[in-house]
């Protein structure tokens, strides 16, 4: 689930050539300890951070009802000229249905995930193993807790999750790394073209090769990967979000996608009675929850970068404006606004919990750990009296250590044989609704 991907960080010594993006340039993965989680993406789309040394080519709501529940409902909205447009929720749910259909098709034909042989790269038969080992080293060095959790998975699933993590980290670094000011839409187009090549079994470097092998083995679709790149494009052109519908789509692009990428690898328990779609919805909810948490934690930091990731209409309803954000003063209006934003994020976390138990037993612990730890950031914002302008909410090492055995205990809970979390139709309200 999105949880895992959010803890991805980059290698610290190797140099890679970005095909199609850089002109005789090199992507140096340097020593940066800033781990910006994306499934928790510890910092919005700023998730994990790779240090790069790159020369880029120049070509180129205020109130939420207590009965509100989460569901990616089919909704339509009217635009200013009276045309009917599909909401962000429906756009995302269409992707969810496609991913779930791929997994169900695979399970129906094979009874389980059919792990295919490694892709053999010309010139070096051991390169694939080396590529996966490098991805594992990245997780082991910079995402120690999550890495330990992945060791509970089967070797195939473990290596696949590592490969997905590293790709997401590299993608995120394009627009959030030290050289982000040099990135262009054309560069992202080239990165997407490179993605398409690796999905066709034509990887450019060893890290691409690991992901190429992963998508060959598991029913992973390219769309969530493309959507993440779209989130990077959005960050190049957009810094204000008029309403939660717009923000929801952004959160999906940069974090919810991680859940859709990861579920086919982590696997669904054979004991689960939940529908595949509902498990994907829970993975999506976790990504949205983590991203919303990042946004609420980093309000002050983002404001200093000229960005506000808060719904403009809900700010206005609370009697606040952008000038209040830039001023960075904690007022009663701000506290009231933050309470509602935190309430929304927690509701997404609650929805995500329902799906974690449905995952394969070996995959539950790292997901539970991520969920519990990330949700505690909201508690810390409250403990700071909602001052997310000048104080950064973080979970202490002691609290992290206490959360791990709790997460492990939760991971032992088996799926219910009569799961009530089985159909989309059971959901009648949406977290994006306002009462």
CATH number at residue 316: 1.10.600.10
What is the C-alpha to C-alpha distance for residues 424 and 433, in angstroms, rounded to an integer? 17
Whether residue 62 lies inside any domain: the answer is no
Structure tokens at 197: 């090549």
Whether residue 7 lies inside any domain: the answer is no
What is the C-alpha to C-alpha distance for residues 17 and 24, in angstroms, rounded to an integer? 8
Whether residue 69 lies inside any domain: the answer is no
Mean pLDDT of 128-145: 83
**CA nearest neighbour of 347 among 88, 45, 67, 7:** 67
Whether residue 152 lies inside any domain: the answer is yes
Q: pTM to 2 decimals?
A: 0.74
Contact 278, 424 (CB under 8 A): yes
Convert the pLDDT of each residue in 95-122 to its tens digit: 777 777 776 666 565 544 444 444 444 4
What is the C-alpha to C-alpha distance for residues 44 and 244, in angstroms, rounded to an integer? 15
The overall longest dimension of the chain from CA atoms, in Å, is 65
Convert the pLDDT of each residue in 268-312 to its tens digit: 998 999 998 999 999 999 999 999 999 999 999 999 988 999 999
Whether residue 240 lies inside any domain: the answer is yes
Expressed as residue numbers, the domain containing 278 is 83-111+121-412
Whether residue 58 lies inside any domain: the answer is no
Question: What confidence category does residue 160 fall into, taking pLDDT thresholds of 50, 70 and 90?
Answer: very high
Convert the pLDDT of each residue in 205-245 to its tens digit: 888 999 999 999 998 999 999 999 999 999 888 889 999 99
CA distances from 204 to 18, 35, 43, 168, 256 (A): 8, 26, 28, 16, 26
CA distances from 178 to 21, 53, 54, 55, 379 (A): 16, 8, 9, 11, 31
Whether residue 132 lies inside any domain: the answer is yes
**CA nearest neighbour of 296 among 367, 231, 396, 382:** 382
The tally of domains found in the chain comes to: 1
Distance of CA 123 to the CA centre of its chain: 35
Whether residue 141 lies inside any domain: the answer is yes
């Amino acid at each position: 689930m999105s949880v895992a991907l959010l803890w991805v960080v980059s290698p610290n010594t190797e140099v890679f050539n970005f095909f199609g993006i850089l002109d005789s340039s090199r992507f140096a993965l340097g020593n940066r300890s800033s781990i910006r989680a994306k499934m928790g993406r510890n910092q919005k789309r700023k998730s994990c951070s790779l240090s790069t040394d790159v020369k880029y080519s120049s070509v180129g709501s205020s109130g939420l009802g207590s009965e509100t529940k989460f569901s990616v409902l089919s909704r339509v909205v009217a635009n200013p000229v009276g045309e009917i447009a599909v909401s962000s929720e429906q756009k995302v749910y269409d992707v969810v249905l496609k991913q779930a259909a791929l997994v169900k098709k695979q399970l129906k034909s094979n009874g389980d995930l059919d792990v295919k042989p490694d892709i053999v790269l010309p010139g070096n038969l051991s390169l694939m193993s080396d590529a996966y080992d490098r991805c594992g080293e990245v997780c082991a060095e910079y995402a120690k807790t999550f890495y330990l959790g992945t060791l509970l998975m089967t070797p195939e699933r473990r290596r696949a999750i590592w490969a997905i993590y590293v790709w997401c980290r590299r993608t995120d670094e394009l627009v959030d790394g030290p050289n982000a000011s040099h990135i262009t839409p054309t560069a992202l187009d080239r990165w997407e073209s490179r993605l398409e090549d690796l999905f066709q079994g034509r990887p450019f470097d060893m890290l691409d090769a690991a992901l190429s092998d992963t998508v060959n083995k598991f029913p992973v679709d390219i769309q969530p990967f493309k959507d993440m790149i779209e989130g990077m494009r959005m960050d190049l052109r957009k810094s204000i979000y008029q309403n939660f519908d717009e923000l929801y789509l952004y959160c999906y692009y940069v974090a919810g996608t991680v859940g859709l990428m990861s579920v086919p690898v982590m696997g669904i328990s054979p004991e689960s009675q939940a529908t595949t779609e509902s498990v994907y919805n829970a993975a999506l909810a976790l990504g949205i929850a983590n991203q919303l948490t990042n946004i609420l934690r980093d309000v002050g930091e983002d404001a200093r970068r000229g960005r506000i990731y808060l719904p403009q209409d809900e700010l206005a309803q609370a009697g606040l404006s952008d000038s209040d954000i830039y001023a960075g003063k904690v007022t009663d209006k701000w506290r009231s606004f933050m309470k509602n934003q935190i309430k929304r994020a927690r509701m997404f976390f609650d929805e995500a919990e329902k799906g974690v138990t449905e995952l394969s037993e070996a995959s539950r612990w790292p997901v539970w750990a991520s969920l519990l730890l990330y949700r505690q950031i909201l508690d810390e914002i409250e403990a700071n009296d909602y001052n997310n302008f000048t104080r950064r909410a973080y979970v202490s090492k002691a609290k992290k250590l206490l959360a791990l055995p709790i997460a492990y205990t939760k991971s032992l809970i088996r799926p219910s044989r009569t799961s009530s979390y089985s159909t989309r139709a059971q959901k009648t309200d949406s977290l994006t609704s306002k009462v």
